[in-house]
Structure 1
Amino acid sequence: MPVSFSDGKDTANSANINWKQYFTDPNLVELIDVALKNNLDLSIALQKMEASKAYVRSSKGALFPSVNANANYLGRRFGYYTMDDAGNRTTEIEPGKIIPTYLPDYYMGLQASWEIDLWGKLRNKKRAALARYLSSVEGKNLVITNLIAEIANAYYELLALDNELDIIRESIKIQQSAFDLVSVQKEAGVANELEVKQFEAQLNSSKALEYETLQNITEVENQINFLLNRYPQTIKREKTDFSKPLSIVPNTGIPSDLLKNRPDLRQAEYELIASKADVKAAKAAFYPNLNITGMLGLQGYKAVLLPQSLAYTAAGGLIAPLLNRNAIKAEFKSANAAQQEALFNYQKVILNGYIEVYNELAKIRNLEKIQEYKSNQVTSLTQAIDASSVLFKTGRANYIEVLLAQQNSLNSKIELISVKQLQYSALVNIYKALGGGWK
């Protein structure tokens, strides 16, 4: 990984800033707060984390003996002319009493089994489970980071649409005045029907654009409402002037900071750790298992005799795989392949993280220049509208020049707003790319 994102080294890192300080709009902060409490994707991630935590407890429990309480009754009738019957006819169960044909058996006690982890199979399974739990924690953090960025981007898109709507409505007023003027000129015989219809068509096009923008506003509002897990309602926001220049360059820190700040990198790292533990556990499956079993309890053919009938067993043995070694080999190869996959994914995520930051930094710098030139373009085209209107009234410009000036001005103003929105989006995305938002 390179030592910096640019020629110089920036030791400060905006990812370490709490999102409530990074985003200063109180309405946006309120929206994010609600989302962090109610978002469904985040709730799902939290449940996955709880499931992983339970699996860690389960894998820890496998290292200890299993002890079960047991109480049962067994009744058995021996058939005539069988080996058991022949023996029972000559054996006394009590002095002067042979074993009856039907013999009950009462038992209550404890049974235990324990797999001794000689080769580390169970310990490595526990390590893998713990790593996957930590991976699920980072998965939750990743959901938080993405959620904050998604809400912020949608919010700034909403502000941009509000500004677009204002510009469109302002243009409609200008176009309406031009249409009224050319209509009067037609009545006076100065203009013709073609000119009137052209101005009218442009006016209707702008009115249609107004309602397209209103629809876009509705959809973006409901996109935010969905992220907040609530039904459609108006998103609270203040008017923001998108004509003012935006010049903010966040602190990026050094690339190695990504390894500790980005949840997706940490998630991939824990998955790699888990896959390594899986390989060790799969390798241990080739070796014999040492199992110890035991029973301690009371057992007798009469319930009243149980207190006097202590019984116990203890056994231990090694079990080595023979015929199923091919299956174990397949599991081992699968675990190795999964480890390589996790390694390649880790490398890919690191590379992607660096490129994301690099791209957003370049975008911030380039958008600053684009904004400057677009602002100059808007100024020139706004002046062109005034000039064309004066010339048209005095007969020194035709209606096409007026229409073109109005349309170009409208388009340039909308483009400038889009540039401003992209600038806000770049600031959101670089915060996300640096790993900000989840702390």
Structure 2
Amino acid sequence: MLNLSKIYTCIAVICLVQIGCKVPAIVENKAKPTVPLSYGNSTDTANSAAIQWRTFFADKDLETLIDTALKNNKELLITLQEIEIARNDIRVKKGQLLPSVIGGGGIGVEKVGRYTSQGAGDASTEIKPGTEVPDWLPDYKVGAYATWEIDIWKKLRTEKKAAVTRYLSTVEGKNFLITNLIAEIANDYYELLALDNQLEIVKQTITLQQNALEVVKVQKDAGRETSLAVKKFEAEVLNSQSREFDIQQKIKETENEINFLLGRYPQPVVRNTTAFFNAVPQQVQTGIPSQLLQQRPDIKQAELDLAAAKLDVKVARAEFYPSFGISSSIGFNAFKPSYLVKFPESLLASLAGDVAGPLINKNAIKAEFDNANARQTQALYNYEKTILNACIEVSTELSNLSNLEKTYQLKSKEVNALTASIDISNDLFKSARANYFEVLMTQRDAVESKLELIETKLHQFNAVTNLYRSLGGGWQ
């Protein structure tokens, strides 16, 4: 008979040796996020990030595009599967906390050597009076087997908590993707409107230049101008016509960028071109920098990644301690199927407990613990970097908006002045008080200023969209 007291003594000795060994202490890197008190001197807490994107973007055509993207964007669909994977990881970790029970049965046959302890015993064993155990003995069994690791050091529960934290992190990652997706679609949409307006200006310019070319030809026939002037005007018309095709190509590329984001094949993008100049960029309220910690999904994701990394360190530390397991089985075992139902003769049962842990050569465990600590430090730096990046993005877009507003006002005056100068230069040219070069340069300057005005308007819309994204708006 086994001496149970000796077994318990062995287990206690192993545990004491394990616990007595030096286990590295956890050096927890606590995150202490610090952000400026305000953007400039404003302490207003009203924040446009809390506004839903449907309210923020009032254009119905743009709203339809965003709705389609949120349903069909391939990258977003891939991210949703990553969330599903993270959710299933939680189920895996939960399952490890519970006993594992396996049911099954088996059929076999065996022959043992006659000159073995088992064979010698079988030779004298009678199944029935006067009958020896046959050389080839069938074996039938059916039963259930269970194993269970006792989570005495909370390693498995910590792993489950880390899995839950990573699941929440993937959700925030999805929200951050939605924020960027909405901003990208809005920026492409506004670029498309700007290109449409630029194309219209170029077409109007071509008509104006063709009219000027006809005037120059008439003056050449009258001997008032040379063929050089005619060729210069022809070259200007050809230049504008080539620019028209360049813009058309950019329109097609931008449409296809939007189609890709919407997860659909190339097709025209519905939009109201005339609304571009009439629309006024949305006013954005920035609130205070500390609100970024709650509004920006990437900051919340980095914070959750840091929390998960801290839990990983605790899991890695638990590997230094012994693990406790219980295994058991119950079923029926016999050499004839009819004997399986005979109770208790065919009953098979077992119960065992075990403890195991590393005694020597712990380098691999130490290395994994050190790696977990390093990943925790990485996650901390990434969290701090994400906060820093968010504050800088908001500051940059605020400055951009302010400067663009001033630029647009000046560009508008420039366009008005150059538009008026076109008629003046044409009248002077007809009365021979200005040469063809002055007319050409005036037309060229006017066209460039109009195109630049549209670019400035586009940059205003983009800056508003980017500021809304930087504040954490769009995922709600």
Does TM-score exceed 0.5, indicating one fold? Answer: yes
Equivalent of 2:384 in 344, 347, 353: 347
TM-superposed deviation, 1:219: 0.8
8 Å CA contact 1:110, 1:297 repeated in 2: yes
Report the 3-state secondary structure (helix = DSSP H, G, I; strand = E; otherwise coil) of the residue aligned with 1:111: strand
Q: TM-score, normalised by structure 1?
A: 0.97
Aligned equivalents of 1:133 and 1:56: distance in 2? 8
Trace 1:358-377 onto structure 2 (pairs within 5 A): 358-377=395-414
Does residue 264 (structure 1) correspond to residue 264 (structure 2)? The answer is no
Report the 3-state secondary structure (helix = DSSP H, G, I; strand = E; otherwise coil) of the residue aligned with 1:92: coil
Q: Deviations over 1:117-173 (max 9, x none)?
A: 111111111111111111111111112111111110000000000110111111111
Aligned equivalents of 1:101 and 1:247: distance in 2? 93
Trace 1:150-169 onto structure 2 (pairs within 5 A): 150-169=184-203
Letter in 2 for 1:364: L
Trace 1:63-78 onto structure 2 (pairs within 5 A): 63-78=97-112
Aligned equivalents of 2:471 and 2:445: distance in 1? 38
Aligned equivalents of 1:423 and 1:291: distance in 2? 65
Greater alpha carbon shift after TM alignment, 234-243 vs 324-333: 234-243
Trace 1:14-413 onto structure 2 (pairs within 5 A): 14-240=48-274, 242-243=276-277, 246=280, 248-307=282-341, 308=343, 309-413=346-450
Structure 1 residues 112 and 399: CA distance shift in structure 2, 3 A: same
TM-superposed deviation, 1:246: 3.9
Aligned equivalents of 2:217 and 2:291: distance in 1? 66
Report the 3-state secondary structure (helix = DSSP H, G, I; strand = E; otherwise coil) of the residue aligned with 2:97: coil
Structure 1 residues 55 and 247: CA distance shift in structure 2, 3 A: closer
Q: Which residue of 1 aligns with 2:47?
A: 13
Letter in 2 for 1:160: A
Letter in 2 for 1:209: R
8 Å CA contact 2:281, 2:464 repeated in 1: no
8 Å CA contact 1:46, 1:140 repeated in 2: yes
Aligned equivalents of 2:130 and 2:374: distance in 1? 71
8 Å CA contact 1:246, 1:423 repeated in 2: no
Greater alpha carbon shift after TM alignment, 86-95 vs 351-360: 86-95
Aligned equivalents of 2:39 and 2:128: distance in 1? 92
Report the 3-state secondary structure (helix = DSSP H, G, I; strand = E; otherwise coil) of the residue aligned with 1:219: helix
Report the 3-state secondary structure (helix = DSSP H, G, I; strand = E; otherwise coil) of the residue aligned with 1:220: helix
Greater alpha carbon shift after TM alignment, 392-401 vs 415-424: 392-401
TM-superposed deviation, 1:84: 3.1
Q: Deviations over 1:293-329 (max 9, x none)?
A: 0001111222211122222100111101134511111
Report the 3-state secondary structure (helix = DSSP H, G, I; strand = E; otherwise coil) of the residue aligned with 1:74: strand
Letter in 1 for 2:435: N
Report the 3-state secondary structure (helix = DSSP H, G, I; strand = E; otherwise coil) of the residue aligned with 1:4: coil
Aligned equivalents of 2:279 and 2:172: distance in 1? 37
Structure 2 unaligned runs (5+)? 1-34
Q: Deviations over 1:42-83 (max 9, x none)?
A: 110111100110011101110111011021123111234344
TM-superposed deviation, 1:338: 0.8
Q: TM-score, normalised by structure 2?
A: 0.90
Structure 1 unaligned runs (5+)? none
Aligned equivalents of 1:287 and 1:73: distance in 2? 40
Say how many residue pairs are matched.
439
Identity of aligned residues (%): 51
Does residue 432 (structure 1) correspond to residue 466 (structure 2)? The answer is no
Letter in 2 for 1:54: N
Aligned equivalents of 1:302 and 1:409: distance in 2? 103
Q: Deviations over 1:161-207 (max 9, x none)?
A: 01101111111111111111001100111100111101110110001
Q: Deviations over 1:227-267 (max 9, x none)?
A: 11111111111123555584643111221211111111111
Letter in 2 for 1:92: E
Structure 1 residues 241 and 193: CA distance shift in structure 2, 3 A: farther
Aligned equivalents of 2:97 and 2:174: distance in 1? 29
Q: Which residue of 2 aligns with 1:414?
A: 451
Q: Which residue of 1 aligns with 2:22?
A: none
Aligned equivalents of 1:242 and 1:429: distance in 2? 18
Q: Deviations over 1:329-351 (max 9, x none)?
A: 11111111111111111110011
Letter in 1 for 2:213: F
Letter in 1 for 2:118: D
Q: CA RMSD in A?
A: 1.4
Aligned equivalents of 1:115 and 1:267: distance in 2? 32
TM-superposed deviation, 1:94: 4.2
Report the 3-state secondary structure (helix = DSSP H, G, I; strand = E; otherwise coil) of the residue aligned with 1:252: coil
Aligned equivalents of 1:218 and 1:83: distance in 2? 87
